């Protein structure tokens, strides 16, 4: 009888404690929400997304912009929100995308301040957001804009061998980031609306990178290639720019994994593209730091002033993880990605008193040519300013966290 009584009392105590802890957790979460504090028990992906929403209530404010614009950086970060919405079904993330897009287009289905004659390949990147928005809302404006961006590719200037110019103002030049800006959009469009008629052309863009932008010594990619070899930064024999840029490698690897998402496995070029991914993954894995991160000038870790850089590291982590998850890469790359992700948090992530995620030391945007002239030397990339919460750094961390389910 005494034993039964004790068991009864112990059960009541356990139940009381469980209820107490549960109520306490609910109260703490409610208090956090009321004070706009992000709970620490959420996944890194949601903590990062909520941090972005707090810091930049309108997506056009990302990267410190002071006015709305149709921009590849917003397209990159919002594509991460799209992936997070698909995982969580949280309308907050979808609305963030929709508010940005709706603010950038007019009632007749035009992008504000968009001029096709600029032939800026960066403009295609935000267009990826419109496929799902159209499927969800059936708003015809989204479909019109998808079509207009596809039309840009019809007349986009090309190099003599068929590669898209990066912009009208950069004649005969392919930039490695342009593969990310155009090809996932182009692939999704041609498979969805053209029965895949442009798949060979898409594969050709990657083949040109392989033939002309990949460094034969390291297997890594230069930032750009001028087929005419006329611009001052171009090597007179190869036409490539001087630097193997860490973020450029990231852009290229993300371009490959996200193009492969839509590229039919039955197409003969599918295995070719998967082979390019395997090749760049193997090579870039040999250039990571001891902790598993990647450098601003990727092929010269020992160079004075060189540093591990978050946007490059986050993109490569994502490509490794997604490649392994999708079977494009061997499963072992998932383990590499996990270790590098942990190092990313230690090296780059600062959590403030509000529970907000901050990503440190993100390289500012870099380019080639223009006025004043950007010469593309190693020193140019190493003296580019770094900043906290650069949009590509935040986005690449969010992207890798989503793919690793962290």
Task: Just list the catalytic residues.
Answer: 177
Gap between the Cα atoms of 39 and 31, Å rounded: 10
Cα(247)–Cα(340) distance, integer angstroms: 16
Length of the chain: 406
Nearest partner of 332 among 340, 324, 341, judged by Cα: 324
**CA distances for 10 relative to 2, 19, 22, 190, 216, angstroms:** 12, 14, 18, 66, 71
Q: Are 345 and 313 in contact (CB under 8 A)?
A: no
Cis amide prior to 372 (ω within 30 degrees): yes
From CA 211, how far away is CA 235, in angstroms rounded? 15
Q: Note the Cα 320 to chain centre separation in Å.
A: 13
Q: Determine whether 186 is exposed, middle or buried from the number of CB atoms within 10 Å of its CB (0-12, 13-18, 19+).
A: buried
Decide: 374 and 366 in contact? Cβ < 8 Å.
yes
Number of H helices and E strands in the chain, helices first, is 14, 6
Instruction: Calculate Rg over the CA atoms of the chain.
Output: 23
């Amino acid at each position: 009888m005494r034993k039964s009584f004790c068991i009864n009392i112990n059960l009541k105590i356990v139940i009381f404690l469980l209820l107490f802890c549960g109520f306490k957790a609910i109260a703490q979460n409610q208090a956090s929400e009321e004070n706009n504090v992000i709970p620490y028990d959420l996944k890194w992906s949601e903590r990062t997304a909520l941090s972005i929403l707090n810091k930049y209530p309108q997506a056009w404010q990302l990267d410190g912009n002071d006015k709305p614009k149709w921009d590849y950086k917003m397209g990159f970060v919002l594509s991460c929100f799209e992936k997070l919405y698909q995982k969580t079904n949280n309308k907050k993330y979808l609305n963030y995308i929709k508010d940005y897009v709706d603010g950038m287009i007019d009632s007749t289905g035009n992008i504000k301040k968009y001029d096709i004659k600029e032939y800026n390949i960066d403009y295609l990147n935000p267009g990826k957001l419109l496929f799902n928005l159209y499927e969800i809302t059936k708003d015809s404006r989204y479909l019109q804009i998808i079509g207009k961006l596809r039309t840009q590719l019809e007349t986009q200037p090309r190099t003599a061998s068929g590669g898209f110019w990066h912009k009208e103002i950069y004649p005969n030049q392919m930039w490695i980031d342009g593969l990310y800006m155009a090809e996932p959009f182009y692939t999704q469009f041609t498979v969805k609306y053209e029965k895949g008629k442009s798949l060979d052309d898409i594969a050709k863009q990657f083949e040109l990178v392989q033939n002309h932008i990949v460094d034969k010594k390291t297997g890594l990619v230069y930032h750009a290639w001028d087929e005419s070899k006329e611009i001052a930064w171009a090597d007179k024999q190869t036409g490539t720019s001087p630097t193997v840029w860490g973020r450029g490698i990231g852009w290229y690897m993300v371009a490959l994994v996200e193009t492969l998402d839509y590229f039919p496995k039955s197409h003969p070029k599918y295995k070719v593209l998967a082979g390019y991914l395997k090749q760049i993954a193997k090579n870039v894995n040999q250039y990571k730091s001891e902790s598993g991160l990647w450098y601003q000038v990727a092929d010269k870790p020992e160079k004075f002033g060189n540093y591990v850089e978050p946007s490059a590291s986050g993109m490569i982590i994502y490509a490794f993880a997604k490649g392994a998850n999708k079977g494009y890469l061997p499963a072992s790359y998932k383990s590499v990605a996990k270790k590098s992700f942990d190092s990313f948090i230690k090296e780059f992530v600062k959590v403030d008193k509000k529970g907000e995620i901050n990503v440190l030391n993100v390289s500012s945007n870099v380019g080639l040519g223009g006025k004043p002239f950007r010469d593309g030397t190693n020193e140019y990339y190493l003296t580019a300013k770094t900043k906290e919460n650069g949009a590509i750094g935040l986005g690449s961390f969010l992207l890798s966290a989503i793919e690793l389910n962290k």
